Amino acid sequence: MIEIGQRLPSTPVMTMTANGPTPVQADELMGQGLVVLFATPGAFTPTCSAQHLPGFIERIDDIKSHGVDQVVCMAANDIFVVHAWAAASKVDDRITMIADGNGDFAEAMGLGMDVSAFGMGQRCQRFAMIIQDGQIQSLMVEAPGEFKVSSAESVLAALEQLNQ
C-alpha cells in the first residue's frame, strides 16, 4: 500500500469536460498545491451517496479554509456514472470528480479491493488522503465496511494537525 511521503502514481483517471470524457494523469491532476482526495468504492452506493460525498459538499468551505486548493472525489465507476452522480448530488465545480473505472489508480496505490462476491468486481477501498505538491502527507484508509477515518470531519482534523 502507498505510504505517507510517497508520490502519487502516474496513472490515468477520467474526468468529464465540455468535450466529453477526458483522460488525465492522476499525478498531473493532483500534483500541484494542497489537495484532498477522497475515494469511494462506487457512485450511488448507500454510504457513498448518503454520507461520504455529502459530508465533503457540506464541509467544502471549512476544508478550503485550511489552504486546500482542490478537493477531488474518485469513484470506481465509469466517468458517465460519476458525472451523473455529481449532477444528482449537486456538486457543481466545488469538487473535482474523477473516475477510476478500470481500477488502475487504486491498484497502483495498493488500495484496490475485490468485491466480486457482491457482483461489483474490482473497486477501490474507501479512503482519503491529503497531498502536497504530489506527495502524500496524510493517508486515511477505512477498515472493510467502515466509514470513520475518511470522512470530511476526519480530513479536517488531519488538516489541522498538519497546520500545527
Residues 6+ apart with CB under 8 A from 144: 113, 125
Write down the catalytic residue from 26, 35, 48, 76: 48
C-beta of residue 139 within 8 angstroms of C-beta of residue 129: yes
**Closest Cα partner for 52 from 42, 67, 62?**
42
What does each C-alpha distance from 77 to 23, 102, 133 come to in angstroms? 14, 8, 26
Q: Is 48 a catalytic residue?
A: yes
Helix (H) or strand (E) holding 75: strand 70-75
**Residues assigned a catalytic role:** 48
